[in-house]
A and B are shown apart, each in its own frame.
Chain A
Amino acid sequence: MSNIIVIAEVRGGSLKRPSLEVITAAKQLASASGGQVVAIACGNGIDAATAELAAGGAAKVIAIDGPSFTEYSGDAWAKAIVEQVKANDGTAVLMAHTAMGKDLLPRVSGLLDTGIITDVIEVSCEGGAYGAKKPVFAGKATMTVKATKSPFCATIRPNNFEASTGGSGEVSKVDAPSGDLLSVVKEIIAAGGDKTPLAEAKVVVAGGRGLKEADNFKLIEDLAAAFGPGVAAVGASRAVCDAGWRPHSEQVGQTGKVVSPPLYFAIGISGAIQHLAGMRTARTIVAINKDADAPIFKVADYGIVGDAFEVVPALIKAIEEVVANR
């Protein structure tokens, strides 16, 4: 058998949606390799999550469950997962390219002494050889590779495959081993309020140095808020983060976050190549800049040449109207 293993992400007892997207990628590989999709989830009291995995397309679900796995520990979880990968004839191991996936799968691949390809946007299996496609150089190029070592390990970019639905897999439970933890999560500090995570937002409203000072980001926040709760997130250029106007976690670009929302606003952002690398795959890009020659207009679908302090307030009103009349 040549099974495809999905390492699912469970946080606070609930299954993270990207895990179901990974099942879709895994099903694609399984139908080519002739194996089954086996999901592995770690945690303490994760019955609801494993049931969701079984109903979401995993043929077999293994819960590594117990008090010692209440908090995430990269080393302890990786060790337990590797045992299950081996016991279940995994020839491919997939996980979402999330904070946890980026931490855990490299560790799993290292223990398996195999290769790993990250941030994958397409997977393939031809003649028994697994392959993948991923952006490199911050999306300035796309690389296609073929794995030459087994098992094949890959982290899958979120929001790139549909979430898998339908199925009635079988769930089994393994006791979480207790032992020495090298690293362990002590605390999770929620970000202020119910902020929409940048990478998951349907709309990103990003501001640059053209805003002149930190307080003026109120305009950017108000435009984001105009889309209604949970829709839009605020982004920023590096110039703005370096100046301390916004936290680094909001930086979009080559050395910040790469986002691909359906709608992206670049306001007072010149469009340096490193910024473009982080947002050029957004479906629709709107730029507002007072300089008609700003490079951002080369990638923007729609541009307004003008002063952000005049244009944005009018835009906020217009968006509020659109949202109110839905």
Chain B
Amino acid sequence: MDIVVCIKRVPATDTAIKIAADGKSIETNGVSFEMNAYDEFALEQALLIKEQLGEGTVTALTIGPSLAQKVMRDALARGADKAVVLTTDEWIYDGAQVAQALATYLQANPAQIVLCGKQAVDSDNNQLAGNLAARLGFGCVTEVTKLELADGTFTAERDIEGAREVVTCKTPAVISCNKGLNQPRYANLKGIMKAKKKPLEEAAADLPAAAMEIVSLELPPARADGRIIGEGVDAVPALIEALRNEAKAI
């Protein structure tokens, strides 16, 4: 069973975003990058599935700059067998571009199971799984918090508004992973040493033209300064007064 995990290299979540001079991208000077948090769940799930089946390979796949090799090494150190960087120097925010480029790769390098995160925390698109599955003709379940595989069929759970949904899905499939699905393992020293010898390939991404262009990127309006109403229990009446008459919130 060949399993592919899609991983995006994104700015660390504690980055204070600054807009670059072009007004269309972020200032990346001084920003540290990491594996997209949701993709850690996808990678972990891939490793769990491989362990369950007792066979197969886990390939970590990314579209991004050559610098993404660092994140890919981390994926190898955690247990992926192989990593591929499809390179581009542009910031990819357009979901169709990612989906089509990954579909092209997967048509040439077939996999039965494709796992991805629910959302890349830079562009916050939350679209790849369905988009890719449609292009490959695969089944798909998104934002899963529980996943079981038996006889080539997944049974997954996902949160919907006010409830949970249980979904079955045939393989081949693309599954997008949400928080709660599993507890990602980290790389240990042995893993890090092993990763140095694992294959890490790089090739130029075959990107179609973008389906949209950025007009502008702006910071949201700053919040007005708040105020400390007071200390301890004695401040409660003043808070109620402010919520009622000033904020009209209660």
Contact = CB atoms under 8 A, between A and B. Distances in A.
Interface of A: 16, 72, 74-75, 78, 98-100, 102-111, 113-119, 131, 134-149, 182-191, 195, 197, 199-200, 227, 241, 247-249, 251, 254-256, 262-263, 272-274, 277, 280-281, 283-287, 292, 297-307, 310-311, 314-315, 318-319, 322
Contact of A115 (B163, B212, B219): B212
A322 B162 CA distance: 28
Interface of B: 11, 13-17, 19, 26, 37-38, 93-96, 99-100, 121-135, 138-143, 145, 155, 158-170, 173, 178-180, 209-220, 223-224, 226-233, 235-237, 239-240, 242-244, 247, 249-250
Query: What secondary structure prevails in chain B residues at the interface with A?
Result: mixed
A314 B231 CA distance: 13
Contact of A138 (B95, B100, B121, B158): B121
A114 B135 CA distance: 11
A325 B95 CA distance: 51
11 contacts: A102-B142, A110-B132, A115-B210, A116-B131, A138-B121, A188-B163, A190-B162, A263-B249, A274-B13, A303-B226, A304-B239
A305 B168 CA distance: 49
Contacts of A147: 211-212
B237 A318 contact: yes
Given A248-B179, A251-B179, A256-B179, A303 B229 contact: yes
A145 B15 CA distance: 23
B212 A149 contact: yes
Contact of A314 (B140, B158, B233): B233
B14 A273 contact: yes
Contacts of A274: 13-14
A218 B159 CA distance: 24
A137 B95 CA distance: 15
A249 B180 CA distance: 8
Contacts of A185: 165-167
Contact of A106 (B127, B178, B226): B127
A43 B197 CA distance: 52
A182 B140 contact: yes
Contacts of A140: 15-17, 219-220
A142 B24 CA distance: 10
B167 A102 contact: no
A302 B239 contact: yes
Nearest to B154: A183
Contact of A118 (B38, B127, B140, B165): B127
Nearest to A305: B231
Given A185-B166, A190-B162, A255-B37, A145 B214 contact: yes
B211 A107 contact: no
B165 to A, nearest CB: 5
Contacts of A110: 96, 99, 130-135
Contacts of B247: 263, 283-284, 301-302
B16 A273 contact: yes
Nearest to A199: B161
A318 B128 CA distance: 47
A149 B213 CA distance: 10
A185 B140 CA distance: 12
B96 to A, nearest CB: 4
Given A139-B220, A140-B219, A188 B229 contact: no
A272 B218 CA distance: 22
A322 B164 contact: no
